[in-house]
């Protein structure tokens, strides 16, 4: 029996998933860049961003770059040279080498591996944190023992099982590239994410917990690596009075204007985290008696930054839902719902939510790449959802999960109405 639609009043102003929250300091630092005429990729704002990021995270070195993706690219390049040595002139650093990558993440985590000629091998998620599964990683090393680089992301601001992953990576003499694009300010056993890997990255994209509208950082404790990345990011110019270039470089340095925004945002990071946590807790309380759970974390060892609050509908509370590459449909059922229905109902009241990241092994561009679950290769049978021992966990979370409005500027009354809409979907 179909549920009866309940009509909810539409918000006059859109309630966003996660939009920038500005404080005023940002404009002052941008003006400083303007009045001092340091409008390029050098200036005091950049220097201060690098210093303050190091002070906050505990990383020894930070290089401010144009985007988190740029930071990932140079982290991958650095890792490849560290492991395999400098390539021949004109050759890609990875040159067909495999790299283990988080499967359930944004494509920017993975694409830089391809930039450098590598082949991503996707490692399934685990239910405890939704991040890379250490058991699947161990299995991947059994299948591909020659792999020497692992790229691990912290999803939605929640630290993964980073110590377990590091132990496995170290045992196989591999290098960790830590993607902390979504997790700035999150800690694991008191240590900041973005400092566990050999080479690490942050993002200041427009929807992140603090923003520059764009921008990112490369973090490392390796002084020579930091110097190399800094050089590459400014077109690999040599120390000559003319433009001398002895290797390929990139236009990846952060603008001093963008750095002014980031500089103004950084003092408010802890405040943003506290507000994001409050949003998460209100969802958890408001939805606690429904057949769903919130995105999980290791309460004993980790403190997420709660960038996005997400839900996961219980399997037996899912109505029938089918997704194609670009579309989806579902059948309404009494007492059941699905991510698509909730997304559509929230859209009716002008509130933004989004599906969980579609796993990389399900993406058309990467569908032929290897994919490893904790029990072996997920390609052995099918790309479809697999039940029982060979469950594809990332696909299951994508199938049942949804990212909820998590904007710091969302009022408690607005969030209460979002919760009411979600509750009505279970009708």
Residues involved in catalysis: 208
Residue 272 is encoded by which pair of tokens?
A: 């943003």
Q: How long is the chain? A: 427
In this structure, the strands spanning 61-65 and 216-220 are antiparallel
- Residue tagged 């399934």 (tokens): 124
- Phi, psi for residue 77 in degrees, rounded to 5: -60, -45
Residues whose CB falls within 8 Å of the CB of residue 126, separated by 6 or more in sequence, listed in order: 132, 133, 134, 135, 136, 161, 374, 393
The whole-angstrom separation of Cα 132 and Cα 30 is: 38
CB 355 within 8 Å of CB 402: yes
How many Cα atoms sit within 13 Å of 377 on the Cβ side?
11
Q: How far apart are CA 43 and CA 47, in angstroms?
A: 7
- Return d(Cα 220, Cα 178) in angstroms, integer: 10
The single-letter DSSP state of residue 215 is: B
Burial class (CB in 10 A: 0-12, 13-18, 19+), 148: buried
User: CB–CB of 11/24 below 8 Å?
Assistant: no
CB-CB neighbours of 370 under 10 Å: 19
Closest residue by Cα to residue 272 from 21, 54, 28, 55: 21
What does the alpha-carbon distance between residue 394 and residue 377 come to, in Å, rounded to a whole number? 14
Q: Which two tokens stand for residue 179?
A: 């993607």
Burial classification of residue 377, based on how many CB atoms lie within 10 Å of its CB (0-12 exposed, 13-18 middle, 19 or more buried) = middle
Contacts 24+ apart (CB under 8 A), 112-115: 112/69, 112/72, 112/73, 112/75, 112/76, 112/77, 113/76, 113/151, 115/73, 115/76
């Amino acid at each position: 029996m179909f549920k009866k639609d309940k009509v909810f009043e539409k918000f006059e102003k859109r309630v966003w998933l996660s939009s920038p929250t500005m404080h005023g300091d940002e404009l002052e630092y941008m003006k400083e860049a303007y009045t001092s005429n340091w409008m390029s990729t050098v200036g005091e704002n950049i220097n201060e961003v690098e210093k303050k990021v190091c002070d906050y995270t505990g990383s020894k070195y930070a290089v401010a770059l144009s985007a988190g993706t740029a930071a990932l690219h140079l982290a991958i390049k650095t890792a490849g040279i560290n492991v395999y040595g400098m390539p021949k002139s004109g050759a890609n650093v990875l040159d067909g080498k495999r790299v283990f990558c988080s499967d359930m993440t944004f494509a920017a985590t993975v694409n830089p591996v391809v930039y450098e000629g590598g082949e991503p091998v996707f490692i399934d998620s685990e239910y405890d944190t939704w991040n890379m599964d250490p058991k699947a990683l161990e299995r991947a090393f059994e299948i591909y023992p020659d792999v020497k680089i692992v790229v691990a992301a912290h999803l939605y601001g929640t630290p993964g099982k980073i110590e377990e992953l590091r132990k496995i990576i170290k045992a196989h003499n591999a290098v960790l590239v830590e993607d902390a694009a979504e997790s700035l300010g999150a800690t694991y056993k008191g240590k900041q994410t973005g400092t566990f890997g050999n080479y690490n990255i942050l993002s200041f994209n427009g929807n992140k917990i603090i923003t520059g509208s764009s921008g990112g950082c490369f973090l490392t404790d390796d002084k020579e690596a930091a110097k190399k990345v800094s050089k590459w990011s400014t077109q690999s110019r040599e120390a000559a009075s003319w433009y001398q270039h002895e290797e390929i470089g990139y236009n990846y340095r952060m603008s001093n204007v963008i750095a002014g925004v980031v500089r103004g945002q950084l003092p408010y990071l802890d405040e943003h985290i506290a507000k994001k946590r409050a949003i998460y807790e209100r969802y958890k309380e408001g939805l606690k008696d429904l057949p769903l759970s919130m995105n999980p974390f290791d309460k004993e060892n980790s403190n997420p930054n709660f960038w996005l609050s997400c839900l996961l509908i219980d399997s037996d509370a899912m109505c029938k839902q089918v997704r194609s590459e670009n579309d989806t449909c579902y059948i309404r059922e009494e007492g059941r719902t699905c991510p698509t229905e909730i997304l559509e109902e929230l859209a009716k009241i002008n509130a933004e939510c989004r599906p969980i990241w579609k796993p990389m092994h399900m993406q058309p561009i990467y569908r032929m790449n290897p994919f490893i679950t904790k029990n072996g290769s997920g390609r052995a049978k099918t790309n479809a959802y697999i039940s029982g021992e060979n469950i594809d966990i990332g696909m299951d979370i994508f199938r049942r999960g949804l990212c909820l409005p998590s904007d710091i500027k969302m009022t408690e009354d607005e969030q209460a109405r979002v919760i009411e809409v979600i509750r009505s979907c279970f009708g």
